[in-house]
Structure 1
Amino acid sequence: MSERRVELYPLWLRLWHWLNALLFLLLLGSGLALHFPDALAGILGFNDARVIHNTCGVALSGHYLIFVVATFLGGNRRHYLPRWRGLPGRIGRQTRFYAVGIFRGEPHPFPATVACKFNPLQQLTYIGVMFGLLPAVIVTGLLFLFPEYAPERIGGMGGLWPVAVAHYLVGLALTIFLVGHLYLATAGETLLGEVRKMIRGSTLSEESRS
């Protein structure tokens, strides 16, 4: 047996992560300018906000497709799949760590490993975000951009109105996730340790047969 180093955050994923963050921030800022044009008129005009929002929305759609293809063709997908047996207990341990243990300096109950870099709560959250909320905001956004493809009526209402509400609510949920994501990014061994991993990468040892 020999030891090899395994990169938990390969270069493609780190580049994807930071570009995705940039696109989301641009979409968030331009979306706020579209919803509150009078309040933000001095910062970003309505027409400019619309161009930025539409352009970044289309870019995010293609960018997400790259993530899906790379995740399912590569080994990244295994990190998102939780072990269902005993999952409630592991979620309880992780929740207690975030609520109490992290402030007492207790060791992380589920440190990153080669087999899985996410803890149980991260797995469930990222499944919901990456394969639920993100495609939902993309689909509703594209229906807004190309209304001819939207249903004429949904639940007895004009098709675009429910699409608009869904797009707003999903965007709000993603914004809440972003706030939590930024907070937990500071919850590593050091204040910016997790951020450095997404910039420089992070490797762990794995035994391999020679």
Structure 2
Amino acid sequence: MASEKLYLYPIWIRIWHWLNAVLFITLLITGVSMQYSNPENPLLVSFELSVELHNLCGILISLNYLLFIFGNAFTSNGRQYKMKTEGLMTRIFNQSIYYLFGMFKKQDAPYPISAENKFNPMQRFIYSTAMYVGFPLIIASGMAMLLPEMIIPQIFGLSGLLLTAMLHVVIGFVLSLFLFIHLYVCTIGSSISSNFKSMITGWH
């Protein structure tokens, strides 16, 4: 079957995507460095530099997130994140079976990529959850720790700062898992590098 060449990623999406990737990976490295190292024995990056880079990249990724929100609000890309709830679990199950078995048997994808649907049902659910739930939570908790006077001192008898920090770390861990799964799924294409090239050229 002949493949169709689709222009799925306009320039603003590619700019947002690569900025987001660089900033998130920097936040991941500096966050791990702050969490598990001490000033005398830095893990990946020195503690002082980690704090400065983490704060700076946190502000930049928040501004970059606004590009994502406005871009989806005023372009057709926003419809890619809208889900029909009816039959959603069935569609996700079908896609799971394809990822687990079908693609290794060279079966056709149950939900092929098109201009109208560049995400399969599983991708749409996970990407929507990450971008519209995970990112707002990690940005809000990060900004709160950057400006701790905004945090309620006590929440249900516990330190508001501690709960905010725990939320930030947990959401960061979950989004890090998303990153690694995303990178793996990107290798599932006509070649290992084809999906990465698409995010450079815009063409799938």
Contact 1:140 1:163 in 2 (8 A): yes
Alpha-carbon deviation of 1:40?
Answer: 6.0
Q: How many residues align?
A: 199
Structure 2 residues without counterparts, runs of 5 or longer? none
- Which residue does the alignment assign to 1:136? 137
Structure 1 residues without counterparts, runs of 5 or longer? 204-210
Q: Secondary structure at the match of 1:67?
A: helix
Q: Which amino acid in the other structure matches residue 31 of structure 1?
A: G
TM-score w.r.t. the length of structure 2 is: 0.93
TM-score w.r.t. the length of structure 1 is: 0.90
Alpha-carbon deviation of 1:141?
Answer: 0.4
Q: Which amino acid in the other structure matches residue 14 of structure 2?
A: R
RMSD: 1.5
- Which residue does the alignment assign to 1:109? 110
Matches within 5 A, 1:55-70: 55-70=56-71
- Which residue does the alignment assign to 2:146? 145
Alpha-carbon deviation of 1:83?
Answer: 2.4
- Which residue does the alignment assign to 2:158? 157
- Which residue does the alignment assign to 1:208? none
- Which residue does the alignment assign to 2:23? 23
Contact 2:88 2:121 in 1 (8 A): yes
**Runs ≥4 residues deviating over 3 A:** none
- Which residue does the alignment assign to 1:7? 7
Q: Which amino acid in the other structure matches residue 173 of structure 1?
A: V
Contact 1:33 1:40 in 2 (8 A): no
Change (3 A) 1:184 1:58: same
Structure with more contact order per residue of length (Cα contacts < 8 Å, sep ≥ 6): 1
Between the two proteins, what is the percent identity of the paired residues? 35
